[in-house]
Structure 1
Amino acid sequence: MAAKPEVRCYFHAGTGTWQYLVFDPSSLEACIIDPVLDFDITSSKLGTETADELIFRINELGVIVTRIMETHAHADHLTASRYIQQKLAQDGHVPPDICIGKRIKEVQSTFAQKYGINPTELENVFDHLFDDDEHFKIGKVNCSVLYLPGHTPDHIGYMIGDNVFTGDSIFNPDVGSARCDFPNGSATDLYRSMSKLLSLPGHIRLYTGHDYPPETRTATESGQKQMAFTTVEQQNESNKHVKRGTPEASFVKWRSERDATLGEPRLLHRALQINIRAGRLPPPSKNGDRLLNIPIKEDKVLFDLMDSKL
């Protein structure tokens, strides 16, 4: 009989992000999926309260984290991967590998050009790049990589036992799906990735990367509305965007039209510049500041006026 993992779910309310700690109860080998670093956009201050709570839980459970696994280069939160890796090392643990899908190189190239990042800063910042369909183990638990593009071109998910950690490739049924308008995103690819997930056996649990509970959702007895997972069968029955029988063409048309109306994520430029570095900071400037590039929205008439010479 295949070993079954234990899953601990931690919700970051500020970004609506689910973080996961998954471990083999027999060996206590563990992985972390999509950890969050706190960031106050008004003060530009980083914070570690959320990550420190996760480290506390790791030590409380006595698990041994061997991998920190990202599903993609997030645009809505800063990753805590590097911070957690280094803190665990300081605490005497063997530093876990920071892992992501191999197509992160494409995303790094795209955003290095956009933000003027020296490509040498991005060399080998991730410890392991997963291949499509790569198999590995967490202790005695069987794990594999699922390539799930659409939201972003580098997006992957992780099947760990009878659980899939989907990132942003599918949301809970009453939320539906994620946007696809980032560079090289694709509504067609997302539909096919969601269909791939919905073709899995009905009992498989799909753990989502985010949850944004609608007002119509009923809270649990504890008063919490956020849900970490639903099953494949539940998704097939009621996902508001791609339930069983939804035509590809209608989804692609709706998703594309919807994305054209959306503003950019609040932390977009901060998140991407940190996340393509695997959670590292940019190098210090001559005066010691760590600087990120934040583009100004284009208004050609205004720009031309401000750039003109008297």
Structure 2
Amino acid sequence: MTQARQAPGRPQVTGFFDKRTFSIQYVVADPATKACAVIDPVLDFDPKSGGTATRSADEILRFIEREGLRIEWILDTHPHADHFSAAGYMKDRTGAPTGIGERVTDVQKLWQGIYNLEGCCPADGSQWDRLFADGDTFRIGDLAVEVMFTPGHTLASVAYLIGDAVFVHDTLFMPDGGTARADFPGGSARDLWRSIQRILALPDGVRVFTGHDYQPGGREPRWESTVGLQKRENIHLTQATTEESFVALREARDRTLAMPKLILHALQVNIRGGRLPEPEEDGRRYLKIPLDAFPDAAWDD
């Protein structure tokens, strides 16, 4: 399922909804130059069979080719806990550089400890071509991009402000979905509040594109709002209007949430820049699942 928005002088944004993980992948294009970036592409994974596939990423690549676009960047907003990143696959297919926030190195170190993976891959961010610091700028064609460090959901989360559009990953959902959880290792509800306030300080007309939509009430998936709409209608921000009340609300809600089904599968791939583990002597690749790593986590009954 896709949606597209285009207007003169603004980025053209096309969202691709992944039903398995409720995540949205984006192609952000400069209509004037036909340059584009892909944000948060998904590598398909079936936990029941252990199968991987590239259907979602290939759909995006076909769209880019069909529209006559030229891919200049493959961007992750953070190391995802609920799906595999297809950044590595897309780089292999297109040669386009990859990028993520520079604090990904902290996430790599944290999760290498959880997986006992020391020595398997360097925790220096070298799996990406560029590590972005807060305030860094670059271009997609003639479009200026500013990187905003927005921790809380993870240690490394960044948002990308591209013209009149901001891609906020799992910081804000659609207004009827509220805000992202902040209880993963390295997460912080207080940091999340401050990151949200930074996003809400943008002009009211800035378009907000979120990284997931869980379809509250069974409605059709949506992923575009505005800063003004988030201020007026976000169900968590209108209920908790101060930092302390938000932290209390977010932490209480997080205690009731089970861990994402793919978190232990996905992080060991995503701290490698979307690369699967190297094949072992039998030619097969294996994931490593730490048992009882989160003994206090809620169970998904």
- Structure 1 and Structure 2 fold alike (TM over 0.5): yes
Which residue pairs with 2:18 in the alignment? Answer: 12
Partners of 1:299 and 1:55 in 2: how far apart?
Answer: 37
Paired residue for 1:66?
72
SS at match of 1:241: helix
What CA distance in whole angstroms lies between the structure 1 residues aligned with 2:294 and 2:17?
A: 38
1:266 aligned partner: 261
The answer to whether the 8 Å contact 2:240/2:249 transfers is no
Supply the AA of the counterpart residue of 1:187: A
Tell me by how many angstroms 1:216 deviates: 7.0
Partner residue in 2 for 1:234: 229
Cα distance per residue 1:101-148 (max 9 Å; x no partner): 000000001111111224452351111000101111111111100111
- Report the count of equivalent residues: 286
- The CA distance in 2 between the partners of 1:109 and 1:297, in whole Å, is 19
5+ long unaligned stretches in structure 2: 1-7, 296-301
1:243 Cα deviation (Å)? 3.2
TM-score by length of 2: 0.91
TM-score under structure 1 normalisation?
A: 0.88
Moved over 4 A (4+): none
Cα deviation for residue 283 of structure 1 reads 1.5
Residue 128 of structure 1 aligns to which amino acid in structure 2? R
Q: How does 1:1-310 map to 2 (within 5 A)?
A: 3-88=9-94, 95-119=95-119, 121-122=121-122, 123=124, 124-215=126-217, 217=219, 225-243=220-238, 246-297=241-292
Q: Percent identity?
A: 41
8 Å Cα contact 1:3-1:140 kept in structure 2 = no
Query: 1:246 and 1:127, CA in 2 relative to 1: closer, same or farther beyond 3 A?
Result: same
Q: Which runs of 5+ in 1 are unaligned?
A: 89-94, 218-224, 301-310
Q: Which has the larger radius of gyration?
A: 1
Q: Which amino acid aligns with 1:96?
A: A
Q: CA deviation at 1:298?
A: 6.8
Counterparts in 2 of 1:23 and 1:238: CA distance versus 1, 3 Å = same
Distance between the aligned counterparts of 2:189 and 2:225, measured in 1?
A: 22
Cα distance in structure 1, aligned partners of 2:294 and 2:135: 45
Q: CA deviation at 1:198?
A: 1.2
CA contact (8 A) 1:194 1:242 kept: no
RMSD: 1.8
AA partner of residue 144 (structure 2): N
2:161, 2:258 → 1: CA distance? 32
Cα shift at 1:296: 2.1
CA contact (8 A) 1:100 1:128 kept: yes
In 2, the alpha carbon distance for the partners of 1:244 and 1:178 equals 15
